[in-house]
Amino acid sequence: DLREIIDSYKGGGASAYSPVMLLSVWLLGFVSGIYTSRKLEQALKENIAFIWISGQSEPDFRTLNNFRLRLGNDIKGIFKQVVICGIQLGYIRGEEVFVDHTKLEANANSHKMIWKKQVDRRLEEIEVELDSLFQYIDDLNNREDKEYGDKGLCDGGNLDYAKIDEVIRDFNEQIKDMAKGEAREAKSKLKRTKGLIEKREGYKEKQEILGERKSYSRTDPDAVAMLQKDKESIKASYNEGIAVENGFVLDYEIGQNAADNVGFKGIIEGVIENIDKVPERVHADGAYGSEENMVYLEENGIENFLKYNTYFREHKKSWREEKLRREDFGRDEDRDVYICPAGKVLEFYGKHEKITATGYHQRLREYKAKEEDCAACALKEQCTRGRAKSIEVSLEYERLKVEARANLDSELGKELRRQRGNRVESIFGDRKFNKQYKRYFLRGLSKVNIESGLYYIAVNIKKISTYLKGLFNIEGKQIETICLGMT
C-alpha cells in the first residue's frame, strides 16, 4: 500500500515516474546486491531483469536517489507489509524471537571525530581566559566615563560579536593616546577576545550536536565513535539491531548508543507492532540480560531467555574457585540476611536507588558483616580486602536471573542457544562478508534508516521467495492457493 507515498506527489509539471516502479527497482537492486543510485541507473540500461521490472523506463540516478530519500518514515510501513506477507504464508508465528546488534561503519571519516571531553575542556578554558580578558577590557574602560554604568563587561559573560566590535570602535581613540607598547597590548587582547568569542560559539554548537553522546563525526554528525568487533579499532558507526524468527527479520533499529541492551525494548516493541502480537519467547546473548530488560519481558508476558553477563562464567568451576563471590552466599528470606560460606551473617545495612544510563530506577539493598567476624575468618583472603564483607544486591534482579537461568538450562533453552548463531548472527555475517556490505552508503540517521529498511525488506523478500519455491516443489497447486489467499 503506497498511497501515502503517491499522495506526497503534488502533481503538475512533467509526468512523474511511478512510485511503484521506483520502489520495485530499488528492492530488486538490494536483492541483487546493488545499493547505490548510479549502479542502479546502469542496471536499468543493461540488465534485462531491471529493464523488465521498470517497463523500459530509465530514470537517472538523481531521480532514483530523490525517491529513496522521499521514502522517509514510510520505509517502516513498507517493511511491516512485507512482514505481514510472511505471517500470511505461515512463515512467521511469533514464537521464538532472537535479538542481536552489530556495529556498522558510517560513511564518515573516523579521523575527524569530535569528542565531548575535549569540547567541555576547551570550552572551560575559553571561559576562564575570556573572564580575564573581560576584566582587562573593564579596567581599560574605567579610564574613561563608564559607558556601561555600574556593570562591567566581565559581569555579563555573554559578550557577542556586535558588542566587542562596538567596544573596539569606542577604544580606538583611547588607544591612540596610549604608549606604543600598551596600545599594542590592548589591540592584541581585544583581537584575542573577539577570536575567543567566535570559538566559544563554535564549541557551544558542538555541545548541542553532541547532546548526551560522547562523540560524533564531522562528516556525519549523527554517527558515533564505537569500538569495532576486532576490539582494537574505533570508527564512526551506528549500532544496528534486528529481531529475527526463522531467518525472517521482524524489526530493525539503528541506534547511536554502543551498548546493545539500550535498544532492546524498542526492537521488541517494533516486533509487537509489526506482527500484531506479543512474541512467546525472546532469546539474546549476555549483553541484553539487564534487570530493566527482564522486567520489561515479564510485564509483557514474554518468556525470559536472556543471558545475563555472568551466566556462562557461573558454570565454570575455575571462576567459582578464583574467589568467593556473591553467588556463594546463601540467603535467609525470613530474616532478610545473607550467610557466608563460613556461616557468618551479613545483616541488612541500608538501601538506595541507582539510576542507569537509560533512566531505569534500580533498587539496591546492602548487607554487611561484622568486622570482628571477618577479622578472625579463615576465608577472609578469598572473600574481601576490606575490614568487613559487604554485598550490594537488587532482589528483583536476583529473582529474574533465577527464572532466566532455569529457562536457559532447560532443554528448550539449550536448543534456542544452539539456534541463535545461525538464526540471527548469520544475517549480519551474510551482509558483511558475503555481500561485503560493511559500511553505509548514506549519511545521517534518517537516511541510514531508509538504507537498512530497504536491505531488510530485500532479505525478507528473498526468504519468502525461497519458501514459496520450496512449497512449489512439494505441491504445485499449494502455492497457487496461498497466493490467492494473500490477494
3-state SS record for 199-256:
HHHHHHHHHHHHCCCCEEECCCCCCEEEECCCCCCEEEEEEEEEEEECCEEEEEEEEC
pLDDT band at 171 (very low <50, low <70, confident <90, very high): low
Contacts of 486 (CB under 8 A, 6+ apart): 85, 88, 89
331 three-class SS: strand
Q: Which of 107-116, 185-194, 378-387 has the lowest mean pLDDT?
A: 185-194
What is the torsional sign of CA 400, 402, 403, 405? positive
Cβ 271 vs Cβ 246: under 8 Å: no
Q: What share of the chain is helix, strand, coil (3-state, %, to 5)?
A: 55, 15, 30
Mean pLDDT of 471-476: 58
The reported pLDDT for the residue numbered 153 is 45
Handedness of CA 178, 179, 181, 182 (dihedral sign): negative
412 Cα distance to chain centroid: 30
Residue appearing with cell numbers 547511536? 256
Confidence of residue 304 (pLDDT cuts 50, 70, 90): very high
Stretch 176-192: mean pLDDT: 72
Q: What's the mean pLDDT in 458-479?
A: 76
Q: Where are the alpha helices (DSSP H) in 251-290?
A: 264-275
Q: How far apart are the C-alpha atoms of 1 and 140, rounded to whole Å?
A: 71
**Percent residues over pLDDT 90 in the chain:** 52
Rounded distance between C-alpha atoms, residue 138 and residue 368, angstroms: 59
306 with 294: CB under 8 angstroms?
yes
pLDDT at 482 over 60: no
pLDDT at 209: 92
- Total Cβ atoms within 10 A of residue 478: 12
In the predicted structure, residue 3 carries a pLDDT above the cut 60: yes
The highest-confidence range among 191-200, 290-299, 411-420, by mean pLDDT, is 290-299
Task: Tell me: pLDDT of 226 over 50.
Answer: yes
Residue 91: which pLDDT band, with cuts at 50, 70 and 90? Answer: confident
Q: Assess contact for 295 and 410: CB atoms under 8 A.
A: no
> What mean pLDDT, rounded, does the chain reach?
86
Taking the C-alpha atoms of residue 319 and residue 313, their distance in angstroms, rounded to an integer, is: 6
Distances (CA, A) of 363 to 328, 351, 369, 394, 395: 22, 7, 21, 6, 8
pLDDT for 135 equals: 79
The helix or strand, by DSSP H or E, that contains position 361, with its residue range, turns out to be strand 361-368
Q: How confident is the model at residue 179 (pLDDT cuts 50, 70, 90)?
A: low
Q: Which residues of 267-303 are buried (b: 16+ CB within 10 A; e: fewer)?
A: bbebbbebbeeebebbbbbbbbbbbbbbbbbeeeebb
CA distances, 258 to each of 213, 237, 261, 386, 450 (Å): 10, 9, 9, 34, 20
CA dist 114 and 215 (Å) reads 5
Q: What percent of the chain has pLDDT over 70?
A: 87
* Spatial CA neighbour of 292 closest among 333, 260, 270, 324: 260
Q: Is the pLDDT of residue 224 over 90?
A: yes
Per-residue pLDDT band at 53 (split at 50, 70, 90): very high
Contact (CB, 8 A) for 249 and 429: no
pLDDT tier at 439 (50, 70, 90 boundaries)?
A: very high
Over 70: is that where the pLDDT of 210 sits?
Answer: yes
Is residue 22 predicted with pLDDT exceeding 90? Answer: yes
CA 246 to chain CA centroid, nearest Å? 25
Decide which of 197 and 396 is more confident. 396
pLDDT at position 170 is 63
Q: Check residue 383 and give its pLDDT.
A: 87
Could you list the beta-strand ranges (E) of 59-153: 96-105, 113-115
**Band of residue 286 on the pLDDT scale cut at 50, 70, 90:** confident
pLDDT at 36 over 80: yes
pLDDT band of 367, cuts 50, 70, 90: very high
| Alpha-carbon torsion, ordered 469, 471, 475, 480, to 10 deg | -80
- Answer yes or no: is pLDDT of 462 > 80: yes
